[in-house]
Amino acid sequence: MHDRSVFSIFRAQNPLTGVINLSGSKSISNRVLIIRALCDNSFPIHKLAAADDTRLLNELLSSEEEVLDAGPAGTTFRFLTAYLSLQDGEQVLTGSDRMKKRPIGLLVEALRGLGASIEYLEKEGYPPLKIGAPSAGFGEKVHVSIPANTSSQYISALLMIAPVLPGGLELSLEGKIVSRPYIEMTLQLMAYFGVQHVWEGNTIRIAPQAYQSKAFTVEADWSAASYYYAMAALSPEVKLQLNGLFEESVQGDAVLVGMMETFGVKTSFSGEGLLLEKNENTLPAHFKQDFLRCPDLAQSLAVVCGGLGVPATFTGLETLSIKETDRIMALKTELARVGVEVVPQGNDQFDISGKTTWSDIPEFQTYEDHRMAMAFAPLAMQHRIRISEPAVVGKSYPGFWDDIRKIGFEVTD
């Protein structure tokens, strides 16, 4: 996404009203695509995410090319690493320069432990990978251990291939589990397609069994909803409908509903989705939140706290520095442009103080990170802002700029 362009964004302070039809969740879509590829029979997937990562995964799963390029798509790369380790033939799996700096060693080591044939083509422990046909005894060893504080995508990648392994899988998670909701999401989706599991303590057991093909409808993305919740928090009067979200959700980010009540944002569900309204404009004296179960909400909430001048303490941020960018440092740098201080406390916590203020129009950098662009966009409700490389939103929500235009944002390049 090296478009090098800049969007100027502004929205006059009037009631925040309108209807947004949110795209399907990337996290759910990508898991269901892998499960479908592991099924004996195909099935229809309704409301599949429009995200670049999902489109790319869908294409690569049916590609017969020898070299598969996952670009900057971390989930796509990790899920494909496990999926390709089951396949006959030999393929190279590569990605963008940033992807080549994102570790993959723990997943490769676990797959090699099961008998996968995977080589590093450049730096040890990092993409690109050469993945060959599995060894004769592949999947007969059923027990694998992996650090529990690693990316949940490694764990999900292993769980999804588990039922098709000859001996199934017994996966031990060592230490403190981070991103547990994403592991639970994977297991709930596998259960929808007929795969049972037993989770006792830190061990998940999945016996050999077949996935059952059945039609699936993808829920909208709660992470994407967080940007509209942020707008609602920054707006004095709100009546905004977000369609496609379920009250009973498999997504960890659905905790957003309770979190945003603190900022006076009320949620009511209907058959179509949910309605956001403003209860009252009371604010917490100090906002404290553990993001261990919902790390993708941290950027949205950091901008809300800065925008409203609410001092805050964010904890449970262990995975934030190994995402598309080091999100803690990115938040610190970009919020400083508008007078808000982010003070990291170790690698899993930071404090926020100050309130956004600016005279010259700030230009926020996005660091090839879709969530930086979308998390900062709500500040355009206070004064005009600029967002650099805005096309980065394509990674998870390509229609974002068009959607916010529908609710009164002026977005120009």
Whether 225 and 347 share a structural domain: yes
Instruction: Indicate the residue among 184, 216, 248 that finishes a domain.
Output: 216
Domain closes at, from 216, 241, 272? 216
Greatest Cα pair distance in the chain: 67
391 and 281 assigned to the same domain: yes
* Average pLDDT of the residues in 256-278: 96
- Is 1 part of any domain? no
Residue 184 belongs to domain spanning? 26-216
CATH code of 148's domain? 3.65.10.10
**Residues 107-120: pLDDT tens digits?**
999 999 999 999 99
pLDDT in tens, 313-326: 999 988 676 666 78
Q: Which residues contact 275 (CB under 8 A, 6 or more apart)?
A: 239, 240, 241, 242, 267, 268
> Is 6 strand, coil or helix?
strand
Q: Which of 296, 348, 369, 403 is catalytic?
A: 296
Asked whether residue 177 is domain-assigned, the answer is yes
Same domain, 206 and 236: no
**Nearest-angstrom CA–CA distance, 68 and 71:** 9
342 shares a domain with 260: yes
Same domain, 141 and 102: yes
Rounded alpha-carbon distances, angstroms, from residue 343 to 60, 245, 321 = 41, 34, 14
Query: Are 150 and 228 members of one domain?
Result: no
| First-to-last C-alpha distance (Å) of the chain | 16
Tell me the average pLDDT across 182-205: 96
Q: Establish whether 296 is a catalytic residue.
A: yes
> What pTM did the predictor assign?
0.82
The total of structural domains in the chain comes to 2
52 in a structural domain: yes
Residue 237 and residue 156 share a domain:
no
User: Mean pLDDT throughout 284-309?
Assistant: 95
Residue where one domain finishes, among candidates 198, 216, 234: 216
Q: What is the pLDDT of residues 16-64, one digit of tens each?
A: 999 999 989 999 999 999 999 999 999 999 999 988 899 999 999 999 9
Q: Are strands 91-94 and 265-269 parallel, antiparallel or unpaired?
A: unpaired
Same domain, 169 and 283: no
Which neighbouring-strand residues pair with 18? 240
CB 326 within 8 A of CB 252: no
Q: CB 89: neighbour CB atoms within 10 A?
A: 10
